[in-house]
Structure 1
Amino acid sequence: MSRSDRLFRLLQALRSLPAPVTAAQLASETGVSVRSTYRDIDSLRASGAEIGGERGYGYTLIEDGTLPPQTFTRMEIEALMLGLAEVKHMGDPALTAAANAVLGKVAATLPSLSQQHLLHAVSQVHHFYERYPPLPDMAMIRTACWREEALEIGYKDREGAVTSRTIWPLAIVYLDRLLVVLARCCLREDFRMFRADRITAVALAGSSFRPKRVALLREYQAGLDAKRAEQAA
């Protein structure tokens, strides 16, 4: 395989695999050694691709200048419209504003025919109920996830008793009709799913757990996979 073909396959793997992608995964996709993968990542960065991450934590393709935005197929436009419409129905004003901004940016870069496809997409979303109630603390929780900062929260249990917890917020999970915060609970020293509607107060704890978030998410996913394997056996 030529070097240019290998770099193309590496770029495609970064586009398609769930981020962050480890060097071992990328090496398996491209058929080279992990050491060669590190060199190829450096080559892609030097050619203009913005790739976040580092050795030991995985890589994320942040910006790919080789893929022009106007290359969407009509089915891809339908998927895009469907996904953005679903985001708008989540009850989060910040996400709604972001979805509208994405739609405007995409529309501005499409050729005229694709813009018509965007305006007249056949895929629609409608909910007869509110999926997630507006929660004022979600902006702080989301920012803490991004910045890998610990939070002090008040949490109400099923009986209504409120306790104080220090957590490392890892992800916000949108279930069918329930919004939960996946976190590492410092009290239990284990992973916990906190219902967002039971969080009564949120404040920054003043400490960081960077750069553990990605590794902890992998650990959590590995635990889920192990449980599924046990149930299937």
Structure 2
Amino acid sequence: MLPAPVTAARLAEETGVSLRSLYRDIDSLRAAGAHIEGERGYGYRLIEDGALPPQIFDRIEIEALVLGLSEVRHMGDPALARAAAAVLAKVAATLPDTGQQHLLHAVSQVRRSEERFAPSPATAVIREGCWREEAVTIRYADGEARITERTIWPLAIVYLDRKLVVLTWCCLREAHRMFRVDRIAAAELAGASFRPKRVGLLRDYLAVLKRKAADAPEG
């Protein structure tokens, strides 16, 4: 028995988009080969079709999505947790009935008694600085709790096993530097753009870190 059609209003609510965007997305999926029954004012239903193109996830891909997004929800970043939940809802809305069952009853799960990283108000500012390629002024406590103020160009936020760090170009030292997010007492956008240098600086920094890891003694 085929599942009942889902109204456009419900799909838009579940995926967090406007009705106009939803209709456009449905048209795009149909153009890509997805077999979606229904129309405006009636509702939509995705029909199982073995000939669907590869953008339809198979079972192990759904497992990977659920596992990865579950991990993100336990990172300790409220914005990322909300985004992960929204992504999962959007994926669910595009899956056929069998795929939705695989998603709801995924074999692989993540359960943590506490979040991996303590939430920090600095994270959102640093992320915004990365997106905008805009300098950020931070107040930073070193290992001896001494506070310094400096301006950084944030390049990437990196989730290590036990700590959250931001890779930067430090304007004070004029060199690449890594700062622990939990030691950033305050952060604010400085209003100075460093576009379009972020990609090149990040590539160079990652190459340096890779060389250091290769040169590190074993054991």
TM-score by structure 1 length? 0.68
Distance 1:144 1:194 in 2: 15
1:178 and 2:163 matched: yes
Q: Report the alpha carbon displacement of residue 224 of structure 1 after superposing the two structures with TM.
A: 2.2
Q: Corresponding residue for 1:187?
A: 172
Q: Which amino acid aligns with 2:124?
A: A
Q: Corresponding residue for 2:68?
A: 83
Q: How does 1:13-162 map to 2 (within 5 A)?
A: 71-162=56-147
What SS is found at the alignment partner of 1:71? coil
Structure 2 segments unaligned to the other structure (5+ residues): 1-30, 34-52
Q: Report the alpha carbon displacement of residue 66 of structure 1 after superposing the two structures with TM.
A: 5.4
Of the three residues 185, 201, 207, the one matched with 1:216 is 201
Alpha carbons 1:88, 1:96 under 8 Å: kept: yes
> Cα–Cα, structure 1 residues 139 and 229, in superposed 2: closer, same or farther, change >3 Å?
closer
Distance 1:166 1:191 in 2: 12
Q: Report the alpha carbon displacement of residue 226 of structure 1 after superposing the two structures with TM.
A: 2.6
Alpha carbons 1:78, 1:123 under 8 Å: kept: yes
What SS is found at the alignment partner of 1:137? helix
Q: Which amino acid aligns with 1:73?
A: D
> Cα–Cα, structure 1 residues 69 and 102, in superposed 2: closer, same or farther, change >3 Å?
farther
> Cα–Cα, structure 1 residues 70 and 113, in superposed 2: closer, same or farther, change >3 Å?
farther
TM-score by structure 2 length? 0.72
Q: Percent identity?
A: 66
> Cα–Cα, structure 1 residues 124 and 216, in superposed 2: closer, same or farther, change >3 Å?
same
Higher relative contact order (CA 8 A, sep 6+): 2
Q: Report the alpha carbon displacement of residue 127 of structure 1 after superposing the two structures with TM.
A: 2.0
> Cα–Cα, structure 1 residues 71 and 98, in superposed 2: closer, same or farther, change >3 Å?
same
TM-superposition CA deviations, 1:94-124 (whole Å, max 9, x none) = 1011001000100000000101111010101
Q: Which amino acid aligns with 1:178?
A: K
RMSD of the alignment, in Å?
Answer: 2.0
Q: Which amino acid aligns with 1:107?
A: A
Q: Corresponding residue for 2:8?
A: none
Q: Report the alpha carbon displacement of residue 126 of structure 1 after superposing the two structures with TM.
A: 1.5
Distance 2:215 2:159 in 1: 26
Of the three residues 187, 190, 214, the one matched with 1:202 is 187
Q: Which amino acid aligns with 2:76?
A: G
Distance 1:203 1:175 in 2: 23
**Higher helix share goes to which structure?**
1
Q: How does 1:1-20 map to 2 (within 5 A)?
A: none
Q: Report the alpha carbon displacement of residue 146 of structure 1 after superposing the two structures with TM.
A: 0.4
TM-superposition CA deviations, 1:138-181 (whole Å, max 9, x none) = 11111110010001100001111100011000011111121111
Q: Report the alpha carbon displacement of residue 190 of structure 1 after superposing the two structures with TM.
A: 1.2
Q: Which has the larger radius of gyration?
A: 2
